[in-house]
């Protein structure tokens, strides 16, 4: 304890070495020291702020600013779970406070960041009509949004639907719905098929299904509940790399391509998944999935099509559809994969200082209905260092 007090005084004076700071942080993080650490921090914080002639509200602002940039202990575990961070929030505050006092003596003037917290993604999208005009659905009122060939486009409580119009012309026209980063949306296609779009995704579809097939195109990620029609198969094209054919089923397609693959996870029914060439023509690779299976297609152009489809017999269905159910399922996900999801969900940019990506993997699940600051607190609890500059999140080595 005497050694810790000596280091603490040196930290307050701005004279502690990095090695001494690591000793101090480790002591503060030890749950057995929670009571004496809290007493020490409270006493020294009062002494520091009063002798420095800093108003209480200014001191509180400084502490809040430091919480967003404090350095965590040097020993970083390689596999984390986000279920436990709430229970250990007090330790994070102690660590943040300890660093606050250290930096307070070094920098008498600290400007508190004024950036507002980032809210989680909300329901909204941009509808592009057949004539190229666009409707921002976030602000559109319930009721008739547009009249398109073969259908009346209606918005009701954040869901778009197409009501057929009798006697319409048979000319095929297309609409596109795009969800920018930070938005999600769901709609009902003209045949009754339900579609949920994740952030940074799109779907292009006809306003009236006729002929021998129902064909749509997607980018990003979408969940489908396809209306049955044995005479008119439902086909989905994903980025000219994959084609999924169904009669009536529910499944998820992740075509972001962040990890170099397009993944189709079958929930119910049956689907046939094909690999397609860059020109959109069907290639030789083709598999038929059963419920609980997933097909993984490599996004590449220099290997045989037959080698591009991998069937995963026991797919993690909960993980595949977690986004639709309002959760981050991070089971087995790398830090890079998680950050790609965070970019889309909060509409921010994530970069890695010195291009060094920490080799970290996660387990667990947490709600998507949290602000960015709440999610970052979870990262901080597991000693993932970062710096936030406006809407740019910088992950430190």
77 and 16 share a domain? yes
Q: pLDDT tens digit string along 155-178?
A: 998 899 998 887 666 678 999 999
Which two structure tokens, joined as six digits, stand for 215? 């064909």
146 and 224 share a domain? yes
Domain assignment of residue 181, given as a range: 122-321
Q: Whole-prediction pTM value? A: 0.70
Q: Please tell me the distance from the alpha carbon of residue 337 to that of residue 259, in angstroms, as a whole number.
A: 8
Q: Helices 56-67 & 34-51, crossing angle to 10 degrees?
A: 130
151 and 270 share a domain? yes
Q: Please tell me the distance from the alpha carbon of residue 391 to that of residue 9, in angstroms, as a whole number.
A: 36
259 and 360 share a domain? no
10 and 55 share a domain? yes
Q: Helices 89-106 & 34-51, crossing angle to 10 degrees?
A: 30
- The CATH number linked to 382 is 3.55.50.30
Q: Please tell me the distance from the alpha carbon of residue 372 to that of residue 369, in angstroms, as a whole number.
A: 10
Q: Report which of 44, 90, 94 is spatially closest to residue 73, judged by C-alpha positions.
A: 94
> What is the DSSP code string of 189-213?
-TTS-EEEE-SSEEEEEESS--TT-
- A 10 A CB-CB count for 173 gives 15
Residue 117 lies inside a defined structural domain of this protein: no
138 and 261 share a domain? yes
Q: Which of 321, 348, 365 is the last residue of a domain?
A: 321
Q: Which of 79, 106, 133 is the last residue of a domain?
A: 106
Q: Which letter does DSSP use for residue 353 in this model? A: G
Q: Which of 306, 321, 336 is the last residue of a domain?
A: 321
301 and 284 share a domain? yes
Number of domains into which the chain is organized: 3
pLDDT tens-digit profile, the chain (397 residues): 777 778 777 776 667 776 777 677 677 666 567 667 666 665 554 444 444 444 444 444 434 433 333 333 333 334 544 433 333 333 333 344 444 444 444 443 333 344 568 888 999 999 999 999 999 999 888 999 999 887 899 999 889 999 888 766 667 899 999 999 999 999 999 999 999 999 999 999 999 888 899 999 999 999 999 999 988 999 999 977 889 999 789 999 999 988 889 999 999 999 999 987 544 444 457 899 999 999 999 886 555 544 578 999 999 999 999 999 999 998 899 999 999 999 999 999 999 999 889 888 988 888 999 999 888 888 887 788 899 988 899 999 8
């Amino acid at each position: 304890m005497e050694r810790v007090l000596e280091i603490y005084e040196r930290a307050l004076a701005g004279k502690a070495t990095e090695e001494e700071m690591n000793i101090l942080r480790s002591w503060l993080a030890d749950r057995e020291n929670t009571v004496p650490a809290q007493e020490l921090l409270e006493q020294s914080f009062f002494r520091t702020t009063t002798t420095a002639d800093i108003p209480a509200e200014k001191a509180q602002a400084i502490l809040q600013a430091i919480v967003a940039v404090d350095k965590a202990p040097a020993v970083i575990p390689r596999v984390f779970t986000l279920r436990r961070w709430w229970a250990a929030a007090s330790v994070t505050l102690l660590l943040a406070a300890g660093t606050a006092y250290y930096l307070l003596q070094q920098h008498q003037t600290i400007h508190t960041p004024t950036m507002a917290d980032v809210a989680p993604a909300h329901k909204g999208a941009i509808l592009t009509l057949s004539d190229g005009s666009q409707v921002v659905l976030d602000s559109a009122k319930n009721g008739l949004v547009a009249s398109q060939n073969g259908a009346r486009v209606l918005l009701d409580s954040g869901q778009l639907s197409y009501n057929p119009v009798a006697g319409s012309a048979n000319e095929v026209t297309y609409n596109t719905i795009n969800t920018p980063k930070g938005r999600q949306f769901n709609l009902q296609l003209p045949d009754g098929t339900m579609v949920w779009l994740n952030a940074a995704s799109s779907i292009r579809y006809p306003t009236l299904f006729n002929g021998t097939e129902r064909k749509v195109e997607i980018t990003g990620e979408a969940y489908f509940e396809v209306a049955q029609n044995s005479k008119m198969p439902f086909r989905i094209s994903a980025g000219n790399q994959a084609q999924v054919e169904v009669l009536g089923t529910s499944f998820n397609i992740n075509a972001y391509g962040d990890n170099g693959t397009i993944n189709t996870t079958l929930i119910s029914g049956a689907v046939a998944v094909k690999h397609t060439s860059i020109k959109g023509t069907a290639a030789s690779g083709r598999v038929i999935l059963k419920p609980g299976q997933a097909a993984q297609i490599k996004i590449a152009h220099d290997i045989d099509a037959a080698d591009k489809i991998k069937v995963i017999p026991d797919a993690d269905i909960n993980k595949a559809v977690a986004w639709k159910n309002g959760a981050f399922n991070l089971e087995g996900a790398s830090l890079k994969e998680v950050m790609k999801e965070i970019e889309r969900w909060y509409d921010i940019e994530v970069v890695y200082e010195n291009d060094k990506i920490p080799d970290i993997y996660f387990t667990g699940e947490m709600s998507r209905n949290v602000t960015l600051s709440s999610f970052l607190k979870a990262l901080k609890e597991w000693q993932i260092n970062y710096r936030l500059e406006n809407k740019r999140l910088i992950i430190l080595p």
